[in-house]
Amino acid sequence: MTSVISVICFLVLAPFVGGLLEGLERKISARMQGRVGPPVLQPFYDVRKLMNKQTIVVNKAQTLLIVTFFILQIFTGCLFYAGSDIMLCFFLLSTGATFLVFAGSVTYSPSSTLGANRELLQMMAYEPAVLLACVGFYLANKTFNVSEIIGAHNSSILYLPGFFIAYVFILTIKMRKSPFDLSTSHHAHQEVVKGITTELGSRNLALYQITEWYENVFLLSVLGLFIVNSNPISYVVAVVVVLAVWFLEILIDNTSARVKWYVLLRVTWIVTSLAAGINLLILMITRRKLL
């Protein structure tokens, strides 16, 4: 019954939480740049405006691909909040991202196709860290199930500090923030066109935006999974840590310029190898000694 309530809460509240976080992010970013910024509810106004516009698509298959992307991302969050397998959650997340790449490619637009290619490069960069995070949760808790991980006596971060660092690092890529916003950007000054979302029609673009809200809530929830345990106080600590990392991402986004694709791959793999890789070796050696 608890898992059902959690799933319903995710379905209903995630887009509102994601939209509010984006509104607050715009406001904080504006203050950092010496501007007043838009209202906190501006993302919701933007989505409503897009929904009311006429939808014109270059390729009809694009709508099907964006809807599939939307469904898979929501299903990912539902599985997570149902306490399911964390590995399966990330598998569905990556599958959904693949449909987004297809949606950008079917238009044959140079800008959209280039954005799709960059999205694939970003996936190549962060997928090793995602896989290692799943392995780390298993080694620390002897299970992939989210419900069992949050029921453990100790927080996973005690065993997985390197995995935590690697995951925080790839959040910058997954949330499409500078310096790793190669496929598309949330800032108008970063590019003349919007990369992979260039050819999305109005309603498709609104659906993409809502999907991104669901995705961001899921990504931040996984971040909290490193902190949460059987102690109720850990949930409060998890919220504080998540908000601190979220603010850090905004700070990085506003103080960094976009890097080239090969810098993205090199830096991400180095951080993943050093942080998560060394942590993985320590966990394996420790487990062998215990056996």
Rama region for 115: left / alpha / beta (φ>0; ψ in -120 to 50; rest): alpha
pLDDT at site 55:
74
Closest CA to 78 of 176, 173, 146: 146
* Tens place of pLDDT per residue across the chain (291 aa): 778 899 999 999 999 999 999 999 999 999 998 888 889 999 999 999 998 887 777 778 888 999 999 999 999 999 999 999 999 999 999 999 999 999 888 888 888 888 888 888 899 899 989 989 999 999 888 899 999 999 999 999 999 999 999 999 999 999 888 888 888 776 654 555 677 887 887 888 899 999 999 999 999 999 999 999 999 999 999 999 999 999 999 999 888 888 888 899 999 999 999 999 899 888 888 766 544
d(CA 271, CA 291): 30
Structural domain range at position 164: 2-290
CB 42 within 8 A of CB 263: no
pLDDT at site 25:
93
pLDDT at site 291:
47
Bridge partners for 145 per DSSP: 85
Q: Is 186 helix (H, G, I), strand (E, B) or coil?
A: coil
CB 245 within 8 A of CB 167: no
Cβ-based neighbour number of residue 290 at 10 Å: 6
Q: Is 192 helix (H, G, I), strand (E, B) or coil?
A: coil
pLDDT tens for residues 141-190? 889 999 999 999 999 999 999 999 999 999 999 988 888 888 877 665 45
Count of structural domains within the chain:
1
CB 109 within 8 A of CB 198: yes
